[in-house]
């Protein structure tokens, strides 16, 4: 059997295992798995409008994943990515609010808003980096703590200084004037600008990690920081650099959410794309080349599962169960495969 | 606020901290054995939901608790198995599990949302609960709170004052040396991960059948607790007593947030609820900063007197993880 065929067989098997597990969960909830999968499929790829909706969710997820691949290359679990998306959204909103009633051209306002978003994400990510590099705080906990701080910050802004005239509410801040919305394709919610930013970003990350010395050295730091340091790579600088670059992409995801999707700041602005990006990164084994198709698939599951409460009275969190089952099944089967290969080689040697 | 209200409030702190104590001590056992179970946050949600669903369906609190504990053990054993047998990263598997179990809880718990269910009753301890002040503060709880007190002492005794506890610490610090002296390292790691998972699983029904009785889906207010427990394990320096102290501190802060709310009308309640999390970062910073290179370098450059004081303060706060934490061990 050729290597290629073996690889695809593995992918197929792992997907099947995840589907069987999820079907079992559906049966446990008293629902028909076939119906559930059918509605997810129809709700995500059933029409051009649905496909454009999937692409709306795809862009921020792709951006978050692009950033995470950089920190993963440096061996860091940048769990603070959720908070970085939120900070990106806050900084973007801040610029938009400050300039919305001036006669600054819309294009300039939006460009400044995106720069501010990238900056906001980078600052928040740099905090996690500083805590890790200079404070010895594991980046998982530093990032997580910063996630919660970001949530507090966004709630305070929405219910406090930036509240709607009258009373603040979970529906978010006052929407921006129409001229400041990132233009979308007629009849859809999809912005080609946002799509371009997402695709260029993953392209940049792919090039950075596979085609530059920076990427090579970053991976050396990720594999073995001590050895990298002895080889003359300034480890601290590379780690901080990875955090900052990652934060820039997460911040852009927040900026896209504000300027192209919601046109205001809402409490759930990050939509869990940071968490999902972490799952995708693990599923694709941190290979940037696979990021675009797999994030598209995950976005489709998210959008498709919106149909579940409407059509089958099920909770839409099923998409998370299926995504988790996929990642878990890939991780476990990969472990089993390696164990099997090792056994076979040992048997040969004897 | 009268002194009586303060005593009731403090008793409430001990009561609401019980599940956090369970989860923290459970994770302390697991990590002492060298395994990181990062799935705690999702596990608590799934076990809280399952316990409530089982208790509602069977009208039995007992089976509710059994369900919660089984869920906790099952998730923990998945982490142990994928690490020990399949050599996969504990952090990766634990992280996927924490997200997946959370979504499982929300998905499967949907039909049980907002239902009325059984709850654990108070067991005031005869005589003792009648003592003024102390009776209200310590002896008028449900059995889970008493168990949390006992567990703190028992876990501390087990880890630091028994022979099995010595072996437990050895397999987390120097597994090879422990193995040479006859400790079945991987078997014990399975055992302690299961025990830790059971305690984390116990935190679930302690919420859904007692402290925050019921299941309310995403607004159950349990999301985040597991991460706090993981941070408290570090804060506690893998010592159950210090970890439990952290849990009480956390519960105290949450209570203060509620009490002080009316005096700070400009701050939305959601902000005060997350206030303990930034404090978590700060405490982690305090206990870890002594381990960094630049602090060690700076200390070496200080005049002797200042150095002695700085070192003493850092030592007092500093914690050092079990040295084999998160690694796998080949028994050959």
CB under 8 Å to A52, separation ≥6 — which residues?
Answer: A185, A188, A189, A190
Please write the tens of the pLDDT for every residue from A181-200: 988 888 888 999 999 999 99
| Interface contact flag, A135 B290, Cβ < 8 Å | no
Contacts of B90 in chain A (CB under 8 A): none
pLDDT tens string A228-275: 888 888 999 999 999 999 999 999 999 999 999 999 999 999 999 999
Contact A155 B270 (CB under 8 A): yes
First to last CA, chain A: 23
Q: Which of A137, A152, A321 sits opposite B103 (nearest CB)?
A: A321
C-alpha closest to that of B45 among B114, B113, B103: B103
Q: Among B82, B110, B227, whose Cβ lies nearest the Cβ of A335?
A: B82
pLDDT at A56: 95
Q: Residue A94 is encoded by which pair of tokens?
A: 């801040």
pLDDT in tens, B26-61: 999 999 999 999 999 999 999 999 999 999 999 999
CA B22/CA B25 separation, integer angstroms: 5
Domains of chain B (ranges; CATH) run 3-265 (1.10.3470)
ipTM, 2 decimals?
Answer: 0.91
Q: pLDDT tens for residues A158-179?
A: 988 898 887 767 788 889 998 8
Question: According to the model, what pLDDT value does residue B30 have?
Answer: 97
Mean pLDDT taken over chain B: 90
Contact call for residues A139 and A78 (beta carbons, < 8 A):
yes
Touching check for B271 and chain A: CB below 8 Å? yes
User: Which 205-264 residues of chain B touch chain A by CB within 8 A?
Assistant: 217, 224, 227, 230-231, 234
Q: Looking at chain B, which residue has its C-alpha nearest residue A308?
A: B107
Q: At A140, is the pLDDT very low, low, confident or very high (cuts 50, 70, 90)?
A: confident
* Mean pLDDT of the B71-96 span: 95
Tokens of B32: 């002492």
pLDDT at A303 over 70: yes
Q: A28–B108: do the CB atoms touch at under 8 Å?
A: yes
Confidence grade of residue A1 (pLDDT, cut at 50, 70, 90) = low
B291 vs B233, higher pLDDT: B233
Q: What average pLDDT does this structure show over B64-84?
A: 97
Of A131, A148, A318, which is closest to B285 when you measure between CB atoms? A131
**pLDDT tens sequence across A27-74:** 999 999 999 999 999 999 999 999 999 999 999 999 999 999 999 999
Nearest to B272 by CA among B256, B285, B283: B256
- How far off is chain A from B105, nearest CA to CA, in Å? 9
Q: Hey, of A137, A158, A170, which one would you mutate to test binding to chain B, going by the most B CBs within 10 A of its CB?
A: A137
Domain extent listing, chain A: 56-289
Contacts of A323 in chain B (CB under 8 A): 100
State residue A283's pLDDT score. Answer: 94
| B276 against B3, higher pLDDT | B3
The minimum CA-CA distance between B284 and chain A, rounded to whole Å, is 6
Contacts of A29 in chain B (CB under 8 A): 107-108, 110-111
pLDDT tens for residues A85-106? 999 999 999 999 999 988 889 9
pLDDT, residue B313, reads: 80
Q: What are residue B124's DSSP bridge partners?
A: B140
Residues contacting B110, CB < 8 A, separation 6+:
A29, A314, A315, B217
Question: Residue B75: how many CB atoms within 10 A of its CB?
Answer: 26
Beta bridge partners of B81: none
Pairing of strands B123-124, B140-141: antiparallel
- Provide the pLDDT for residue B324: 85
DSSP per-residue letters across A230-282? HTT--HHHHHHHHHHHHHHHHHHHHHHIIIIIISS--TTTTTTHHHHHHHHHH
Per-residue burial over B100-122, b if 16 or more Cβ lie within 10 Å, else e, is bbbbbbbbbbbebbeeebebbee
**Residue B195: which pLDDT band, with cuts at 50, 70 and 90?**
very high
Q: Give the per-residue pLDDT at B197.
A: 98
Phi, psi of A2, rounded to the nearest 5 degrees: -70, 155
pLDDT greater than 90 at residue A225: no
């Amino acid at each position: 059997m050729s290597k290629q065929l073996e690889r695809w067989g593995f992918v197929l098997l792992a997907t099947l295992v995840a589907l069987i597990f999820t079907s079992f969960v559906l049966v446990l909830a008293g629902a028909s798995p076939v119906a559930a999968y059918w509605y997810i499929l129809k709700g995500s790829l059933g029409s051009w409008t649905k496909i454009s909706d999937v692409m709306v969710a795809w862009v921020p997820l792709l951006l978050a994943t692009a950033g995470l691949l950089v920190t993963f290359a440096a061996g860091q679990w940048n769990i603070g990515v959720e908070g970085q998306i939120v900070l990106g959204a806050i900084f973007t909103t801040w610029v938009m609010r400050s300039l919305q009633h001036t006669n600054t051209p819309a294009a300039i306002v939006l460009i400044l808003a995106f720069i501010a978003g990238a900056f906001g994400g980078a600052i928040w990510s740099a905090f996690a980096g500083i805590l890790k590099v200079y404070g010895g705080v594991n980046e998982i906990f530093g990032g997580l703590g910063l996630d919660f701080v970001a949530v507090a910050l966004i709630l305070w802004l929405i219910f406090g200084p930036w509240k709607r005239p009258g009373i603040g509410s979970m529906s978010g801040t006052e929407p921006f004037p129409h001229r400041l919305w990132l233009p979308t394709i007629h009849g859809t919610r999809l912005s080609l600008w946002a799509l371009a930013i997402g695709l260029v970003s993953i392209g940049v990350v792919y090039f950075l990690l596979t085609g530059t010395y920076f990427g090579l050295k970053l991976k050396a730091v990720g594999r073995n920081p001590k050895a990298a340091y002895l080889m003359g790579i300034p480890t601290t600088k590379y780690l901080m650099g990875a955090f900052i670059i990652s934060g820039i992409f997460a911040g852009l995801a927040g900026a896209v959410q504000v300027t192209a999707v919601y046109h205001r700041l809402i409490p759930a602005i990050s939509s869990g794309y940071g968490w999902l990006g972490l799952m995708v990164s693990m599923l694709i084994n941190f290979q940037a080349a696979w990021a675009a198709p797999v994030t598209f698939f995950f976005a489709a599951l998210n959008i498709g599962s919106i149909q579940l409460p409407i059509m089958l009275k099920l909770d839409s969190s099923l998409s998370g169960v299926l995504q988790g089952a996929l990642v878990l099944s890939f991780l476990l089967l990969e472990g089993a495969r390696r164990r099997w290969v090792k056994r076979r080689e040992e048997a040969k040697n004897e | 606020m009268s002194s009586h209200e303060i005593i009731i409030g403090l008793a409430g702190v001990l009561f609401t901290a019980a599940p956090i104590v369970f989860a923290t001590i459970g994770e302390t056992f697991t990590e002492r054995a060298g395994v990181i179970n990062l799935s705690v946050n999702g596990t608590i949600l799934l076990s809280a939901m399952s316990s409530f669903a089982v208790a509602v369906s069977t009208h039995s609190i007992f089976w509710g608790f059994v369900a919660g504990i089984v869920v906790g053990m099952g998730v923990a054993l998945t982490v142990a198995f994928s690490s020990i047998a399949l050599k996969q990263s504990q952090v990766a598997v634990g992280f996927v599990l924490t997200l997946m179990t959370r979504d499982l809880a929300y998905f499967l718990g949907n039909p049980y949302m907002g239902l009325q269910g059984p709850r654990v009753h108070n067991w005031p301890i005869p005589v003792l609960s009648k003592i003024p002040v102390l009776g209200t503060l310590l002896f008028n709880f449900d059995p889970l709170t008493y168990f949390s007190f006992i567990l703190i002492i028992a876990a501390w005794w087990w880890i630091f004052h028994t022979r099995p506890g010595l072996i437990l610490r050895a397999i987390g610090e120097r597994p090879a040396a422990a193995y040479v002296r006859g400790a079945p390292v991987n078997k014990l790691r399975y055992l302690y991960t299961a025990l830790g998972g059971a305690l984390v699983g116990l935190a679930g029904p302690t919420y859904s059948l007692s402290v925050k009785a019921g299941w309310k889906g995403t607004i159950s207010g349990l999301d985040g607790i597991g991460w706090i427990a993981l941070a408290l394990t570090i804060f506690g320096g893998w010592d159950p007593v210090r970890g439990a102290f952290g849990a009480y501190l956390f519960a105290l802060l949450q209570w203060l947030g509620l009490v002080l709310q009316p005096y700070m009308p400009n701050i939305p309640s959601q902000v005060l609820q997350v206030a303990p999390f930034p404090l978590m970062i700060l405490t982690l910073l305090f206990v870890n900063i002594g381990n960094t290179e630049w602090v060690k370098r700076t200390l070496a450059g200080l005049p002797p007197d200042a150095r002695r004081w700085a070192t003493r303060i850092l030592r007092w706060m500093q914690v050092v993880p079990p040295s084999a934490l998160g690694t796998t061990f080949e028994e050959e």
